Amino acid sequence: MTKTFRKISLFFAVALAFSALTFTTQLTAGDRCFGCAGKKYVKYTGKADNAARKKATACGCKVTGTAACPSNKKQILCTVN
């Protein structure tokens, strides 16, 4: 193999790895939650706007902020859109 071919192969390998990492990050970015008092969460999709907060409050959540969703699904009160 020539040095040029190795450099091109390395470039494409790095580009592929970066693309895979970016794609995976975008898939998991959708799992966002409102943190509630009492270590509970409300999962939401879309923006964390006032309408979503009102829906979370209606679900029984006293919203304390936003956070990543917990791995323990029993801590999630509900899901709002």
The 10s digit of each residue's pLDDT in 23-81 is 454 445 557 999 999 999 999 988 889 999 999 999 999 999 999 899 999 999 999 98
Indicate if 39 and 62 belong to the same structural domain: yes
Give the count of domains, the chain.
2
7-11, 17-21, 72-76: range with lowest mean pLDDT: 17-21
pLDDT for residue 8 is more than 60: yes
74 vs 16: CA distance, rounded Å: 37
3-state SS assignment for residue 55: helix
> Looking at the structure, do residues 55 and 22 belong to the same domain, yes or no?
no
Q: Are residues 41 and 63 in the same domain?
A: yes
Task: Verify that 19 and 37 share a domain, yes or no.
Answer: no
SS3 category, 18? helix
Structure pTM?
Answer: 0.61
Q: How many CB atoms lie within 10 A of CB 10?
A: 10
Same domain flag for 19 and 41: no
Q: Which domain holds residue 2?
A: 1-30
Q: Which of 60, 42, 38, 37 is nearest to 52 (CA)?
A: 42
